[in-house]
A and B are shown apart, each in its own frame.
Chain A
């Protein structure tokens, strides 16, 4: 099953869209040397176009198609109402430079979302601007840098990062001009306290910690870790990728984190979009909030016109107070010592609308249930699957867990083979080969929205694959056979780069 490239459907002179005729007198075009010669875009009808993309969509697996236990990505079901909400024309058709009086609805939504995230995390300030988790991280590291510099402590340029961390953490560190030191994990999957203590010094800017970590484990040494880092003058950055396990369960700020990013696309069901757009707001304690990127939204109590809800001009407020009613007015504001903006405008507003919708529909108790059930589902699968696959860290997990993709009696079968075989059963494989500290890692995150039936079916399939591995390993090496394509030649792709249609 393959679909032609859109260019292969093209026929000269065909077109999908009609446009209005020019209703003004044409002007002279600029000099020819400024104009282009040809433009090689495809020429297709609207029907060709629709069929092409419908066919392509059918070659894809999404949460709406089937189970997607991709660890650390929180592939939960995203309510359809989110999609409708962000498409309301009052939101979708507003320009970022409109005057604030014409976008009070947008500003209020952003303000409320900032407040919601503060409530859930315990932080004192939130900026919605970062575009994704990775950008949230860069933001956090730059804020740590700005904080230390503001205190005349510019020597602090080393970040501590556990060996279980996402690759993004070290990459963000380098981008901010910092150095990293990797910390070891102990036998139970926590940060090794002796290794931490050995690396603390007056050059430490702070530590980046994912909690629960990428093994799906809540760091049991966390209170000691934050205390040690703070005593050394460092800051604690929380990677909020795994916040789906913590809503209503703990507030990161109370645990000693100074700042953290959220992943709205993971935790707050915005959804993932095939790899973006995400959204990575950053929360910070009072000591760091003034360094947040901006603008952020602030509110003030003021007098509003009783009929229109517009803010009354100062002179009216002074003279005829009885015309107005007291109300909230929202405006954009740059934090006092901001690191600056990390992108244009105010963040992924359309994504924020979806997260707002989700939080409003669930409330505090509902979100706590989300985390409770995410943890329950993971532990249920872990309890069943540890009988079929090695579980390197055997303890109660949070929202995900990591197995070794190895089967006793099938020495040639690797995590990759197990994953590819899952595809034949219509299940998206877990995250492979991460975290690096577990050989042949299979990182499984079921999420809270999956039913017991789905989990049971997945567990049965995994057990069946373990059996196949022993009895007929070739089945696994050849897999997938039921997917649109067989295994793809990645070496060829990298050696003979074809990065665009070449006709």
Chain B
């Protein structure tokens, strides 16, 4: 019961050694008696067998993506996860350890993170990667704080693109609400890249854009860094890791900070979490970067080994002057990402990216031909595209789900008033041609 091992005899022996009669004497020695042992209202406990039955029933009350075609993306993506990923995650030497404070006993975690950092650097084309943040949204919030800190608080303005994930933008605002900074640029979809660059001035700490953006479009950001750097501001780019299997990485267009949501790299979609925010920057800013960082060194015999390094940036040493309050990273999710990247390798990730790209274009081309629907095929996009629909997206999605058993796209009108009746459709390697054809037929059928 309760995974508590002591026998009655052992309990008696231990209490005798401590010198009390009852275990509760220990609690009552400290806890005010008036408040001790309150009534706790919880359901009666169940056995392991029963809890799995209960949970299976609860989980089956959901419609999961193994059972229905899904065209939802918008920041969380349904990608293939090779079996090997979960088998590595299942090694309990990894998942029952904690932050590697004692490097001699944690070389497994440390080397795995070092390799993760190496692969994320390769993927993004950036010089330095940390050991990860909670998710893409918080990674972006940390990027803003870092940019402010690079300027030691002397610049108080942040220019943010409106086509960054709306929940990332909200998270940035939540994190910075006590910091007295101005966040501008994202109030209107009319603010495209040239308009945003015009807002960058001598008081701007950074410009943040997302590529591919929230609407799925691939942006040409060449030359952007130059214009941002002319004002000595930082260029922060949120990017999608799968897209980097084929698209130019942010390091190639001179971004100062690149970050993103790492969930598509081998992590379960799991109703929104736990995910992993990857975070990279130029080496010159490494001491302003928050989060854990693993470095290579040698042991007393000169053998290669790994340690947490630059810990003096962190909360447990710098306290109120730390770069951030973050303590942990998403170590197990970073492990999943690393195993995924190594399993895919250079040709596998490129292939996944191309599968997404071509299938998304196949779907977009077909939907564009339907009466009443409109797709802008002139802009380059990766695996998501915007469809203007003849009826409200909520009604369309309800019909798709109830009559056709399809999870439709994301209703953009929820977050952009300009895009009422516009749906964001995501297509990945998980969507077969048959599923796409069914979606197209259903869209046609619903408005007929």
User: Does B62 reach chain A (CB closer than 8 Å)?
Assistant: yes
Residue with the highest number of chain B CB atoms closer than 10 Å, among A50, A104, A373: A373
Measured CA separation A276–B244 after assembly (Å): 25
Which residue of chain B is the closest to A374 with respect to CB atoms?
B4
Q: How many residues of B contact A (CB 8 A)?
A: 205
Q: Which residues of B contact A248 (CB under 8 A)?
A: 37-38, 40
A–B pairs, 29, beta carbons within 8 Å: A17-B348, A19-B352, A33-B220, A39-B122, A59-B111, A60-B107, A65-B93, A77-B3, A90-B56, A91-B62, A93-B64, A95-B72, A102-B63, A132-B327, A142-B174, A171-B322, A174-B320, A251-B38, A277-B330, A341-B167, A344-B167, A346-B271, A350-B274, A361-B45, A379-B26, A448-B4, A452-B10, A492-B297, A493-B307
| Interchain CB contact under 8 A, B318 and A171 | yes
User: Does A419 reach chain B (CB closer than 8 Å)?
Assistant: yes
Q: Which residues of A contact B58 (CB under 8 A)?
A: 90, 105, 108-109
| Interchain CB contact under 8 A, B61 and A104 | yes
Within 160-194 of B, Cβ neighbours of A (below 8 Å) are at: 165, 167-168, 170-171, 173-175, 177-180
Q: Which residues of A contact B167 (CB under 8 A)?
A: 341, 344-345
| Interchain CB contact under 8 A, A452 and B6 | yes
| Interchain CB contact under 8 A, B332 and A170 | no
User: Does B445 reach chain A (CB closer than 8 Å)?
Assistant: no
User: Does B380 reach chain A (CB closer than 8 Å)?
Assistant: yes
Q: Which residues of A contact B72 (CB under 8 A)?
A: 95, 97-98
| Interchain CB contact under 8 A, A277 and B333 | yes
Option from B3, B96, B115 in Cβ contact (under 8 Å) with A501: B115
B78-113: CB near A (< 8 Å → 1, else 0) gives 101010101110111111111111111111110110
Option from A27, A65, A168, A347 in Cβ contact (under 8 Å) with B358: A27
Within 255-269 of A, Cβ neighbours of B (below 8 Å) are at: 255
| Interchain CB contact under 8 A, B47 and A494 | no
Measured CA separation A57–B305 after assembly (Å): 15
A249-B31, A293-B174 known; A24 vs B436 contact (CB < 8 Å): yes
Residue with the highest number of chain B CB atoms closer than 10 Å, among A220, A247, A361, A499: A499
Measured CA separation A488–B354 after assembly (Å): 43
A62-B92, A167-B317, A360-B51 known; A375 vs B112 contact (CB < 8 Å): no
Q: Which residues of B contact A274 (CB under 8 A)?
A: 94-95, 97-100, 109, 112, 331-332, 335
A23-B433, A483-B105, A489-B298 known; A364 vs B138 contact (CB < 8 Å): no
Q: Which residues of B contact A376 (CB under 8 A)?
A: 11, 14-15, 18, 23, 26
Q: Which residues of B contact A286 (CB under 8 A)?
A: none
Measured CA separation A132–B324 after assembly (Å): 13
List the 6 closest pairs (A to B, CB-CB), nearest first. Answer: A90-B59, A345-B272, A177-B178, A363-B45, A60-B108, A96-B272
Q: How far is the CB of A21 from chain B (nearest CB, A)?
A: 9
User: Does B264 reach chain A (CB closer than 8 Å)?
Assistant: no
Q: How far is the CB of B376 from chain A (nearest CB, A)?
A: 14
Measured CA separation A79–B48 after assembly (Å): 10
Q: How far is the CB of B31 from chain A (nearest CB, A)?
A: 5
User: Does A187 reach chain B (CB closer than 8 Å)?
Assistant: no
Option from A88, A93, A342 in Cβ contact (under 8 Å) with B175: A342
A42-B345, A375-B27, A449-B3 known; A85 vs B355 contact (CB < 8 Å): no
User: Does B304 reach chain A (CB closer than 8 Å)?
Assistant: yes
B276-296: CB near A (< 8 Å → 1, else 0) gives 000000010010000011111
A340-B170, A487-B299, A488-B298 known; A34 vs B2 contact (CB < 8 Å): no
A174-B321, A361-B45, A484-B107 known; A88 vs B93 contact (CB < 8 Å): no
Q: How far is the CB of B6 from chain A (nearest CB, A)?
A: 6
User: Does B361 reach chain A (CB closer than 8 Å)?
Assistant: yes
A88-B56, A276-B331 known; A49 vs B80 contact (CB < 8 Å): no
Q: Which residues of B contact A218 (CB under 8 A)?
A: 30-31
| Interchain CB contact under 8 A, B27 and A372 | yes
| Interchain CB contact under 8 A, A488 and B104 | yes
A308-320: CB near B (< 8 Å → 1, else 0) gives 0100000000000
Q: Which residues of A contact B43 (CB under 8 A)?
A: 360, 363
| Interchain CB contact under 8 A, B52 and A499 | no
Q: How far is the CB of B271 from chain A (nearest CB, A)?
A: 4
| Interchain CB contact under 8 A, B109 and A275 | yes
12 other contacts beyond A94-B63, A170-B322, A377-B14, with CB at 8 A cut-off?
A: A49-B84, A94-B65, A98-B63, A141-B178, A273-B331, A344-B167, A351-B274, A373-B23, A375-B23, A488-B103, A490-B307, A499-B129
Within 39-72 of B, Cβ neighbours of A (below 8 Å) are at: 40-48, 51-52, 54-66, 70, 72
Q: Of B195-203, B227-235, B247-255, which stretch is located at the interface?
A: B247-255
Q: Of A114-122, A195-203, A404-412, A463-471, which stretch is located at the interface?
A: A114-122
Q: How far is the CB of A43 from chain B (nearest CB, A)?
A: 4
Option from A56, A250, A346, A488 in Cβ contact (under 8 Å) with B112: A56
Measured CA separation A432–B167 after assembly (Å): 39
Residue with the highest number of chain B CB atoms closer than 10 Å, among A6, A60, A274, A346: A274
Option from A116, A180, A255, A448 in Cβ contact (under 8 Å) with B320: A180
Measured CA separation A492–B397 after assembly (Å): 58
Measured CA separation A419–B105 after assembly (Å): 11
| Interchain CB contact under 8 A, B134 and A343 | yes
Q: How far is the CB of A183 from chain B (nearest CB, A)?
A: 14
| Interchain CB contact under 8 A, A249 and B59 | no
Measured CA separation A108–B19 after assembly (Å): 46
User: Does A156 reach chain B (CB closer than 8 Å)?
Assistant: no
Option from A53, A145, A490 in Cβ contact (under 8 Å) with B178: A145
